[in-house]
Amino acid sequence: MMFLPTVFAAFLAAAQAVPLFDTDTNFIKFPVVSTNLAGGYSSTLARSMSSSVPATNENKVYVVTPTIGNQIVQLILDTGSSNLWVNATGKYVTTTTSHATGRSFAIQYGSGRASGYQYIDEVRIGNLKVARQSLGVANFTLGFRGVDGYPSLIFGVGPTSLSSGVVQGGDIVPTVLDNLCASKAISANVLGVYFKPLSRANTNQNNGEISLGGADHSKYKGVLKYAPITRSSHYKEFWGIDINKVSNSGMVIGRNLHAIVDTGTTLTYLPDAVYYKFANANNGSRDSSSGLLAFGTKPKGILSITIGGRDFTLTPDQYLIPRFLYHYFELDGDTRYFAWLAAIGYGADIEFILGQKFLEHYYSVYDATSKRVGLAASA
């Protein structure tokens, strides 16, 4: 998890031959309420198990609202980390369901960190319940000021191995999905995520959804393209996949790359070489204040990311920041066009991230059962 520099403090999550079966049955789905970013809610549920709870998007991040003990908390949905933790200075207080483990936890993100003590508590999402979920209660946090008004923090749903070493003793901590799957509350350890761009400068749009146990066919078009978790170092610890190539309006600007797919990151982060080729081809440059890619005139280049032989494209209207959000990010709307694109910098272990703004156009599936990530155009 990492904040961007300056006022544009967006989240970057960083802590990190598939079986053929259809994962769209017996899933539970939850609407996502958006505050300056996100999806839509369908009343169509898969057969049998069905449940819904609200979640809120804080413009830079999406949050879900599980109940811990007897308190509803707002937590950032983060596929780039795997620990659930809350802030002790927020709404969470211990109840009769809370049990201190006597262990501490400490977690480091890209430009933020948290530490405190580990508890066991009951966690409910809609009609689903984990009776004994391990979670952190932080008494120290640094670098989370970009989460507007929500001090109860991270709902990590990345690969479980990312939790190794976070809790004193080094044990791996099962995620909420791990525990739901183990208890047979869901049939597969699969998370489906539906985001959608804001249609106006409004911080309370009900326009997103997560589904637990499988993908929701009503939220995407065509067939999901699944990619196995990459074998590439660093990327393989996350929901990391191989990228065949990246193109600018048909011209290849990068080949044989790797990326992580991360709901906890706001922007699309391109490898530096790819970023500068795309910028130069479209007369763009890095804005020194925000770190974003900016253009003097509206660009025409189409960014295409090829995964498993399928192109996932972003048109200028999709990768440019809507002008109705310029004021929110303190951007100069008179002379420049700003994009949801940036570069982390040479030498970073992870330099290619498909974040929230990419995922607002593509439904994503995180399949821990089959160790793969699925993508399809959002409905």
CA distance 106 to 166: 5
CA distance 378 to 196: 8
Which parts of 115-210 fold into alpha helices (H)?
176-182
The one-letter amino acid at 60: K
Residues 167/173, Cβ–Cβ less than 8 Å: yes
Active site residues: 78, 262
**Residue 331: other Cβ atoms inside 10 A:** 21
CA triple 258-352-208, angle to 5 deg: 105
CA distance 379 to 361: 9
b vs e for 39-60, b when ≥16 Cβ sit within 10 Å of the residue's Cβ? bbbeeebbeebeebbebbbbbb
CA triple 196-197-199, angle to 5 deg: 120
Question: Distance between alpha carbon 284 and the CA centroid of its chain, in Å?
Answer: 27
Question: Distance between alpha carbon 58 and the CA centroid of its chain, in Å?
Answer: 13
Residues 41/18, Cβ–Cβ less than 8 Å: no
CA distance 361 to 221: 11
Count CA within 13 A, CB hemisphere, residue 365.
31
**Residue 138: other Cβ atoms inside 10 A:** 25
